Structure 1
Amino acid sequence: MPPTGEVTALMRIPFPLARLTALAPIFLALGACKMEVLKPSGYIAERQKDLLLASTGLMMLIIIPVMVLIVWFSWRYRASNRQATYAPDWDHSTKFELVIWAAPLLIIICLGALTWVGTHLLDPFRPLDRLSASEPAPDQKPLQVEVVALDWKWLFIYPEQGVATVNDLAVPVNREIEFTLTSSTVMNAFYIPAMAGMIYAMPAMETKLHGVFNETGDYQGLASHYSGHGFSGMRFKTHALDEAAFDAWLDETRAAGGTLDRAKYLELEKPSENVKPMSFAQVDPELFDRAVNMCVEQGKMCMAEMAALDKQGGTGLAGTMNTGALTRDASIRRGSGIAVLGSAPFQVNSFCTPEDSEKMFAEMRSTQPVTRNDPAPMRGLALPRPDNRLGIIDMPRIIQDARRDNAVEPKL
């Protein structure tokens, strides 16, 4: 039993204040959270923050007056106020209707235009036009990072540097980063709030994300889409380093050793939770392409190979028995039960030789030079400005043909 004086002091605390006092530890814990979305460290995230704040401000133009009027009406027309006008037969006011319909309509138009233009200029597939507010993007090739969402960890492959990491990402500041993403099993979402927006990673597909860091530091990356039992631990640290520190990180990663080949990938693909960061000094150059084409297993036909064979008319009788036992099945590993096609999972065997596969993946990796768009003036899809009001059309030729055919001036 507490002393009588303490009980008396507690009884004097108002009930609402006592509730707030009990919630104080929660508020203190929340105070340690970083507002990375509203305090970004990259130019793309900064532009997304501006879009978010501008959209919220436009919506507040309606929400705040409505909330104020609710309080004012409640006070003005309370039962005890006999001075308020009482008009039970009032049902229409043209001016009032004009205000309550015109104001939201104008805000919706502005909000729609702002969002449409902003989101297209911030298209994650679109190469960056600027590295910062004052620095245009140079003609330097972006740093390539291939990302695979596994159960339940993130695999990062640096194809140009020949290294790979798990649940640990390092990138240089003030350099464009081009992420190419896929997933091994289910759809997931890749998100580094301080750098850029969220992008989905989907099995048998590639998505792109362009971003940049302008400040050095360690930032949180996470999976923002529920993907199963180990989802809560699917987080990673992102290290934004200067060029010298990034080169030192590469040297340290290479010195640590380890090889990520197809067998190691299949072992890494097994579901596991709260995986500690790890690194690999060597990576199979075809690994990411095989992960996208769902043919990491030895002897399994790649989707690109199957599409090419189908384009040629198929394999005929040679393909009817071209199957083998599947050595592993990701769905069964995740606890999804027996495969739809039967109790014994099978795979379609490849027709390609190793040389054919190497040529196929080389053709898939052939990319065009990065073309950057002029961001000013802002245009919805960042397309070139049309030559005339009808788009890029050869108007002199049309007029000449019309005169020749009809001997009249075409009406536009």
Structure 2
Amino acid sequence: MLSKLARGVAMASVVTLLTGCNLVVMNPSGDIASQQADLIVVSTILMLIIILPVMALIVFFAWKYRQSNKDAEYDPEWHHSTKLEIVIWSAPLAIIIALGAITWVSTHTLDPYRPLDRIDADRPLAKGHKPMVVEVVSLDWKWLFLYPEQGIATVNELAAPLDTPIQFKITSSGIMNSFFIPALAGQIYSMAGMETKLHAVINEEGIYDGFSGNYSGEGFSHMRFKFHGLSQEGFDDWVSKVKSNENLLGRPEYLQLEKPSIDEPIHYFSDVDPELYNAILNMCVDQSKMCMNEMMAIDESGGGGLAGIYNVMSLTYDVPQMRGSQPMPDRKSYVATLCTTPEGGFAGDLNALPLFSNEQTSDRAMSFAPSGVSTGF
């Protein structure tokens, strides 16, 4: 009796805890998330077509062929039934075909890189409509949002007008994270030196939770922000509020902001360096470093040859040891710049090694050197 009472209390406790669950994934406020929720429902129903009959038949066979039922048919020589084989194979095959077709269509329709073609199920998007661009940067342990069209930036707060397509361009300052607003759309990863994209739209006014869905270290649990779905007038007021703060976000300010911090408060920046996101993406906010796109251009042109072997500097970008948390080992190196003398030789005491094999690459190599970097050794 006591064990039954304890079991009942345990079940009641579980039910009580589940009442606090937020089912926003199944009841979202954005069209993309709504389509994803529908996909979950349809897939679950198709699978239940098999699961429920199987579970029911287990109970039925256990009851019908119980030991006390002496009237149950007994046929030890039975080994085949064509009708049963047809049912066993055709039903799962039909469900697999249906799931495959749904997966094929939804994989293309809900591709996060695919621009939207509708605002919701009843309103198609006008041709030629350009989405609002938001540049997202995951930091340790906070989120930076850049609005290039509005010329503003925020930390740990995001806003967008209702029924307006949004194009998120997403990258990271270092460790990989996952950008996720359940009410808006599915999650997508942010990675250093790479850009991922997400297209979405919010259809209902409200304040929604956003966070990182990928564990990224000590401050991960505080890596949260609020997403505000606003009317156009409310969004304009929000932009005006951000612009009223006379805070500048340039390269020096970003390098300070990039440092790890936990439970970072909301920040507004009314003036933003327009080239900042591109510098973050190419991992050259510090202008003493060569940008990735410049380095890739050199590689595409045939590489730097021996110049790249000798012309290196210490790599300190996002290295935990530079934060003072770990002992300093031997430092890694990276190419700082490539340079030649007007005669086509190497700038330095390396016996004038040629940078490239042909005679016309000297000026081209100089053009790859980032601004603010000395061209000597």
TM bucket normalised to smaller: 0.7 to 0.9
Q: Does the alignment pair 1:345 with 2:332?
A: yes
Moved more, 300-309 or 325-334: 325-334
Q: How has the CA–CA distance of structure 1 residues 89 and 226 changed in structure 2, closer, same or farther, with 3 Å as cutoff?
A: farther
Shift of 1:227: 2.0
The equivalent of 1:368 in structure 2 is none
Shift of 1:29: 4.3
Amino acid at match of 2:51: I
Moved more, 114-123 or 349-358: 349-358
Q: Does the alignment pair 1:65 with 2:68?
A: no
Q: How has the CA–CA distance of structure 1 residues 175 and 102 changed in structure 2, closer, same or farther, with 3 Å as cutoff?
A: same
The equivalent of 1:367 in structure 2 is none
Identity percentage over the alignment? 52
Moved more, 95-104 or 206-215: 95-104
Instruction: Indicate which of 154, 157, 162 corresponds to 1:168.
Output: 157
Amino acid at match of 1:70: I
Shift of 1:240: 0.3
Residues 271 and 333 of structure 1 are in contact (CA less than 8 Å); yes or no, is this contact kept in structure 2? no
1:149-180 CA-to-partner distances (Å, cap 9, x unmatched) read 11222111111111111111111110000000
The equivalent of 1:209 in structure 2 is 198
Aligned counterparts, 1:151-162, within 5 A: 151-162=140-151
Q: How has the CA–CA distance of structure 1 residues 127 and 298 changed in structure 2, closer, same or farther, with 3 Å as cutoff?
A: same
Alignment partners' CA distance in 2, 1:228 and 1:50:
33
Alignment partners' CA distance in 1, 2:262 and 2:8:
37
Aligned counterparts, 1:273-352, within 5 A: 273-332=262-321, 343-350=330-337
1:306-340 CA-to-partner distances (Å, cap 9, x unmatched) read 1111222333454433222345433546899689x
Residues 174 and 318 of structure 2 are in contact (CA less than 8 Å); yes or no, is this contact kept in structure 1? no
The equivalent of 2:357 in structure 1 is none
Amino acid at match of 2:309: T
Q: What secondary structure does 1:198 align onto? A: strand
The equivalent of 2:355 in structure 1 is none
Alignment partners' CA distance in 2, 1:195 and 1:93:
50
The equivalent of 1:30 in structure 2 is 18
Amino acid at match of 2:330: S
Alignment partners' CA distance in 2, 1:67 and 1:31:
27
Instruction: Indicate which of 205, 224, 243 corresponds to 2:232.
Output: 243
Amino acid at match of 2:98: C
Alignment partners' CA distance in 2, 1:331 and 1:285:
29
May I ask how many residue pairs the two structures share in their alignment?
344
Alignment partners' CA distance in 1, 2:367 and 2:285:
13
Alignment partners' CA distance in 2, 1:234 and 1:346:
31
Q: How has the CA–CA distance of structure 1 residues 354 and 178 changed in structure 2, closer, same or farther, with 3 Å as cutoff?
A: farther
The equivalent of 1:3 in structure 2 is none
Residues 290 and 370 of structure 2 are in contact (CA less than 8 Å); yes or no, is this contact kept in structure 1? no
Alignment partners' CA distance in 1, 2:290 and 2:196:
22
Shift of 1:241: 0.4
Amino acid at match of 1:213: I
Q: What secondary structure does 2:124 align onto? A: coil
Structure 2: segments with no counterpart, 5+ residues: 339-364, 372-377
Amino acid at match of 2:333: F
Q: How has the CA–CA distance of structure 1 residues 338 and 254 changed in structure 2, closer, same or farther, with 3 Å as cutoff?
A: same
Q: Does the alignment pair 1:18 with 2:6?
A: yes
Shift of 1:353: 8.8
Instruction: Indicate which of 251, 254, 262 corresponds to 1:262.
Output: 251
Instruction: Indicate which of 46, 66, 74 corresponds to 1:86.
Output: 74
Q: What secondary structure does 1:88 align onto? A: coil
Shift of 1:348: 2.1
Q: How has the CA–CA distance of structure 1 residues 77 and 258 changed in structure 2, closer, same or farther, with 3 Å as cutoff?
A: same
